[in-house]
Structure 1
Amino acid sequence: MTDQTVTPAGSDALAQDFVRFALDCGVLRFGEFKTKAGRMSPYFFNAGLFDDGARLGRLAQFYAQALLASRIEFDMVFGPAYKGIVLAAAVAVELARQGRNVPFAYNRKEAKDHGEGGALVGAPLRGRVLIVDDVMSAGTAARESIALIRGAGATPYAMAIALDRQEMATENGQDVPHSAVQYVREVLGLKVCAIANLQDLLHYLSAGSGDAQLRQHRERVLAYRARYGVAG
């Protein structure tokens, strides 16, 4: 199968700037955090902390730059509830600012039974749809979005995420030898654009090797990758 991932080159300037930005905003943190899979991770990424206008606008710039650099073709943007709603709207605004004006839509968690009704809001789902989200843990949100998009007669074509953790997904409580991103790419057949990935984070920590605290974090992240990481 051909490689469906299109992402900025590992450790390139955009990815490094994004890692720095996420750290400065407190979105990317080091410590001990329990993941949805029940793992104790030495780092945590919470896109919900891009929580003011300036941060959200800068985040949207990173998405737009990564997407334009990827050369992924798409006809509209879709944001899965809830975080994806804000992300999709912000990315659509930034793409328009950069000369790529596309419609966007999002879904409700519960279908509305009055007014216009339905589970979808915004532009009609048509053509090749780009799904915008923050991270992928198990691919569940991706599958739900794909079903909604196909149900509306459009084509789920690609996903844009902020961070690819590059670690094993879980199925029925068991680790599997592929990541959620690899599953979406290889099984569901979507292109995937990530602003940065775990390798970019490690490169950033290496670049700051003069900082003892960064070196400490790097060793713990390396150990985590050795246990749960996937190649590619």
Structure 2
Amino acid sequence: MSLDAGAVGAGAKKDSLAQDFVQFCVDSGVLRFGEFKTKAGRLSPYFFNAGLFDDGAKLGRLAQFYAQALIASGIEFDMIFGPAYKGIPLGAAVAIELARLGRNVPFAYNRKEAKDHGEGGTLVGAPLKGRVLIVDDVMSAGTAARESIALIQAAGATAHAVAIALDRQEKATEKAADGSVRDVDHSAVQYVQNALGLKVCAIARLEDLLQYLTGHTGAELNQHRDRVLAYRERYGVA
């Protein structure tokens, strides 16, 4: 197989994985359409709630998507870190799935508050060392990633990459000195990649969601597609 053909094959496989993931999220009620207020105060036509991966079957299937996306990305790492709170079950599930596939790696997570008895501290699980993969659901502003990076670096390890379920591909926000909030020209993922130097693996992106909506007929889905397109025109990044 030629390099070009291999690239096309890998791209097609990634697109198929992303479309399967979007369908899974819709079927599970994790991805919903309507009008939802985001943390940035925007009215979004869709909402992704990873908290609704709320039973063993859904969480197991989600872990399979993460593992497949990570393997396809070629990103190398030595261990997994799950930031509190949503990242804890996500990181654990991904570690289990990777072990099932023959790639057994250590796993650790943090507490929001330090424990003052027993082993103490905020870190639980395997010692943080080597190249660490952070597993979370979405990235809104990169704040959580910065907090995880600080914990990892303080332990003497290297924050190497982040795996997320959905890249919204929209402008991040930042707070000005006067307390006002403004849009910036980059997304949270772009900030983590370019400013913090981490690799990012996303199972699906906003463009995959639009592809899903475009590929399904029906007046209701067409309305959702038009609203998502309008939202991307206003808040999207290149």
Range class of TM-score, shorter chain:
over 0.9
State the 1:8 CA deviation.
Answer: 6.7
Matches within 5 A, 1:17-28: 17-28=20-31
**Residue 207 (structure 1) aligned with residue 215 (structure 2):** yes
Question: 1:123 maps to what in 2?
Answer: 126
State the 1:73 CA deviation.
Answer: 0.2
Question: 2:4 maps to what in 1?
Answer: none
Work out whether residues 56 and 90 of structure 1, in 8 Å CA contact, stay in contact via their aligned partners in 2.
yes
**Superposed CA offset, 1:15-53 (max 9, x none):** 000000000000000000000000000000000000000
Question: 1:37 maps to what in 2?
Answer: 40
Identity across matched positions, percent: 80
Work out whether residues 14 and 72 of structure 2, in 8 Å CA contact, stay in contact via their aligned partners in 1.
no
Matches within 5 A, 1:1-232: 12-172=15-175, 173-208=181-216, 210-231=217-238
The 4+ residue runs of structure 1 with deviation greater than 4 A are: 7-11
Q: 1:214 is paired with a residue of what secondary structure?
A: helix
Residues in 1 aligned to 2:133 and 2:149: alpha-carbon distance in whole angstroms: 10
Q: 1:12 is paired with a residue of what secondary structure?
A: helix
Code of the aligned partner of 2:154: G
Work out whether residues 8 and 66 of structure 1, in 8 Å CA contact, stay in contact via their aligned partners in 2.
no
In structure 2, the CA distance between the partners of 1:226 and 1:9, relative to structure 1 (3 Å rule), is farther
Work out whether residues 162 and 195 of structure 1, in 8 Å CA contact, stay in contact via their aligned partners in 2.
yes
Code of the aligned partner of 1:190: L
Unpaired runs of at least 5, structure 2: 1-9, 176-180
What do you get for the CA RMSD once the two structures are aligned?
1.3
Code of the aligned partner of 1:225: R
Number of equivalenced pairs: 224
Code of the aligned partner of 1:94: E
Q: 2:75 is paired with a residue of what secondary structure?
A: coil
Quick one: higher RCO (CA 8 Å, sep 6+), 1 or 2?
1
Residues in 2 aligned to 1:200 and 1:211: alpha-carbon distance in whole angstroms: 18
State the 1:222 CA deviation.
Answer: 0.1
Q: 1:111 is paired with a residue of what secondary structure?
A: strand
Work out whether residues 28 and 44 of structure 1, in 8 Å CA contact, stay in contact via their aligned partners in 2.
yes
Work out whether residues 125 and 152 of structure 1, in 8 Å CA contact, stay in contact via their aligned partners in 2.
yes
State the 1:9 CA deviation.
Answer: 6.7
Residues in 2 aligned to 1:96 and 1:83: alpha-carbon distance in whole angstroms: 21
Work out whether residues 83 and 109 of structure 2, in 8 Å CA contact, stay in contact via their aligned partners in 1.
yes
Unpaired runs of at least 5, structure 1: 1-6
**Superposed CA offset, 1:81-133 (max 9, x none):** 00000000000000000111000000000010100000000000000000000
